[in-house]
Every structure is written in C-alpha cells, then in structure tokens.
Structure 1
Amino acid sequence: MIGRIRGILIEKSPAQALVECAGLGYEVDIPYTTFFNLPETGDELVLHTHFVVREDAQSLYGFSSRLDRDLFRLLIKVNGVGPKLAAGILSGLDANQFIRCVEARDANALVKLPGVGKKTAERLLIEMTDRIGQLEGQFTPGSPNATVSTGASGAGGAMGHHPAEEAEAALIALGYKPQEATKAISKVAEDGMSSQELIRLALRNMIPAS
C-alpha cells in the first residue's frame, strides 16, 4: 500500500497531479478540494494516498489532508460507492463538510453531488453515521469551526487562457450536465477570476454548506 508521497509537482489539473519522486513521475488522481490546496508547479508537496488495484486498472488517489484520505477509505466501504464516486463526493464536500452533513442527517446536500441519488444518500447517512467515529482525533464532532491541516496552501494561478471554459470542463468531468456547468459558472464569473476561483464558487453555490 502506498500511503504517502512526497515530491515535486510537475503538472496539475482539477482531476490529477503529476508528482516526481526519486526520478519517477506518479499520476495521482485528486478531488477538487485537494486541487485547491496544491502549490505552484515546481514546488514540493506531500499527498496522503490510497492505492487502488483492479483487474483492468491501477489508480493512485491523493489528498492534501490525512482526514480526507481516511474518509475516502471509509466511503469506499459503503455499498455502491467506488473510488471514483468517493473522490467525486470529496470534490464537492471536504471531509469536515461531509461529516457535518452526516451529523445533521442532511440528505439534500448529498443528493446535489453528481452520482449521488436519493438511495445512495440515505445509505451514506446510515452507514457513515457509525463509521465517522473512526476519525476521532482528526475531527471534533459537532464543532462548526473544525479545520483540516493541509500540507500546502494556495492553488496557484489560473490554469490557462480561458478560465471559464476550463471551469466548465472541470464541472462536467465531475459529473454535472453541460448546461448545469455553464449556468453555474455564468452566475459567479467576474473579470479576472481564475478557473480555480470559478470552480470553488460554483461548487459552493451548487452544494450549499451544511
């Protein structure tokens, strides 16, 4: 099991980071909440990781906080929730927000996440209620001011010359319909905003904080 990787960030996108470590380049799948915490390319970073092996693929998932990684490991134990969906959940809600949703029994916030229907949301609430206790020490239940300690700060500058288009593409990759992505970005777009800022604000409006 690869549980942690430390190296130089070579490339980054909302869904993946390329990290060079000891001469090897590791393609690490990441949720958007981790993307927002990545440093500039060329800088060192640390990611807490989970290695997934399947018959047809091997994937390395990375997270800026150990809490997000540990929550990911609990999510993939839920019936019907695979690594891709778990990463999608952590793209829309960070670990603290998700835990507060579970504590508040807020199925409506979960249903707004791509790939999460009513039945899946109810299953998450039922199964995760008992499991979040395993995260004791990383999160204070019921505390609205709990924070996650990350290994890097800031997401850097814009990813390209067309931030709105890149932000829309990122939301579509997450599972939102093209018209939903376009509408969400147009609502928050202002001159000079980076794609990271657009994605963050769009997700915040599409998935209200619990």
Structure 2
Amino acid sequence: MIASLSGLVLVKTPNAVIVDVGGVGYEAFVSGRTYDALPETGHACFLHVQTVVREDAIHLFGFHTKEEKDLFLLLITVSGIGPRLAQTILSGIGVDELCRAITGKDLSRLTALPGIGKKTAQRICVDLAEKVGGLGGFPADAGGARPQPAPAGEADAMSDAVSALVNLGYPQATAWQALRAVEQQLGEGAAPLKVEELLRQALRFLAAR
C-alpha cells in the first residue's frame, strides 16, 4: 500500500496530480484545497496518500496535510460516501470548518456542499461528531462547549455562487477554486458578500488566469 509520495510535480489539474518518483509517474486524485497547496510543475512536492483498492482499479488519493487525510478516512466510513464524494466535500470546505460543522451539527452548512443532502448530512453528524475531536485545530475536549457554526447565509451564498458559475459553463472544481481564491484575497471581508458580488469577484479571478 502506498502511504505517501515525494517527488516532482509532472502534471496537476484541479482533480488530480501526477508525481514523478524516481522516474515513475504516480497519479493521485486530490481535493481542490490540496491542489491549491501544490507547487508549480517541475517542483518538488510531498503528499500523504490513501490507496483505495476496488475490484476493477487501484486509486491513489493525495492530501496536503495529515489532517485532511484523516478526515477523508472518517468520511468514507459514513454510509453513502465514497472516496470521490469525500474529496468533493473536502474541496468545498476546509478541515477546520468541516469539523466545526460536524460537532456543531450545522446541517445547513453541510447540505450546502455538493452531493450532500439532508439525510447524508445527518449521518455525518451522527457517525462522526465524537470522532473528529483533535482534528481541525481544536481540542478533542473543549469543556463541553461546541464551536459556533458559520452563519447559514454565508454558506448559502458560496453554494449559490458555485451553482451560478456551473450554470455559466465552468466545471464545479474550477468554480470552487475561484471562490476559495476570492476568500483568500479578501480574508474576513469575503464573509458578508452577497452572491452577486462573490460571482463578480470569482469571474474577475477566472478572467485573469
């Protein structure tokens, strides 16, 4: 089983990366957030890896941090969540925020993620609320106080902006990448933005690529 890859980035896309390790190219599927953290092609990188074996294929899933990999492994234990959906979830939300949403049972934030309906969100909370402690930058025992979830309006605005970009013909992974870039550029200033402004900022980012 391959547990990590260390080598040169040969090819990278929002969904996968090929890493040259001693002359052998290994393809690993990655979340949008791991993609954002990867260096440019030709530069050295390190990925934590989970090998997923199926009857017809062996797939590698790569992660920038061990915490992201650990959360991926927890997500795929939930009924109805496979490896691809787990990485889609991790593309749409950071480890810290996902852990807060799970422990806080913030269903509105979870259902704003692509592919997650209310029943799946409920299963995630029930199955993982007591398992994500220690991940995401907050302690396993927070003295009984639950972290406050992000306001539902912010999550809805991001989800609606993604949907709008998809309707304009952009791939979902590209849409999330653009909106994460807007978040990084504006910092806390991105939180109060409405869908129209998020969309305008994301389109500006995409036009400048």
Whether these two folds match at TM > 0.5 is yes
Larger radius of gyration: 2
The code of the aligned residue for 1:87 comes to Q
**Count of aligned pairs:** 167
What is the percentage of aligned positions where both structures have the same residue? Answer: 36
What corresponds to 1:155 in structure 2? Answer: none
Partner of 2:131, secondary structure, is helix
Counterparts of 1:8 and 1:54, CA distance in 2: 27
Judging changes above 3 Å, is the alpha-carbon distance between structure 1 residues 94 and 189 closer, same or farther for their aligned structure 2 residues?
closer
Query: Do the aligned residues in 1 keep the contact of 2:95 with 2:135 (CA within 8 Å)?
Result: no
Cα root mean square deviation, aligned = 3.1
What corresponds to 1:71 in structure 2? Answer: 71
Judging changes above 3 Å, is the alpha-carbon distance between structure 1 residues 12 and 83 closer, same or farther for their aligned structure 2 residues?
same
- 1:113-165: per-residue Cα shift (whole Å, max 9, x none)? 111100000000111112113xx377323698xxxxxxxxxxxxxxxxxxx99
Partner of 1:130, secondary structure, is coil
What corresponds to 1:187 in structure 2? Answer: 200
Q: Which runs of 5+ in 2 are unaligned?
A: 148-165, 177-195
Counterparts of 2:173 and 2:3, CA distance in 1: 28
The code of the aligned residue for 1:188 comes to Q
TM-score normalised over the length of structure 1: 0.70
Counterparts of 1:60 and 1:166, CA distance in 2: 31
What corresponds to 2:170 in structure 1? Answer: 168
The reply on whether 1:38 has 2:51 as its aligned counterpart is: no
Q: Which one has the bigger helix percentage?
A: 2
What corresponds to 1:140 in structure 2? Answer: 138
Query: Do the aligned residues in 2 keep the contact of 1:31 with 1:87 (CA within 8 Å)?
Result: yes
How far residue 82 of structure 1 moved from its aligned partner, in angstroms, is: 0.8
Partner of 2:99, secondary structure, is helix
What corresponds to 2:12 in structure 1? Answer: 12
TM-score normalised over the length of structure 2: 0.70
How far residue 188 of structure 1 moved from its aligned partner, in angstroms, is: 2.4
The code of the aligned residue for 2:85 comes to L
- 1:39-64: per-residue Cα shift (whole Å, max 9, x none)? 11100000001000001221100010
Counterparts of 1:89 and 1:9, CA distance in 2: 24
What corresponds to 1:205 in structure 2? Answer: none
Q: After superposition, where does 1:59-208 map in structure 2 within 5 Å? A: 59-133=59-133, 136=134, 139-141=137-139, 168-171=170-173, 186-189=199-202, 191=204, 193-194=205-206
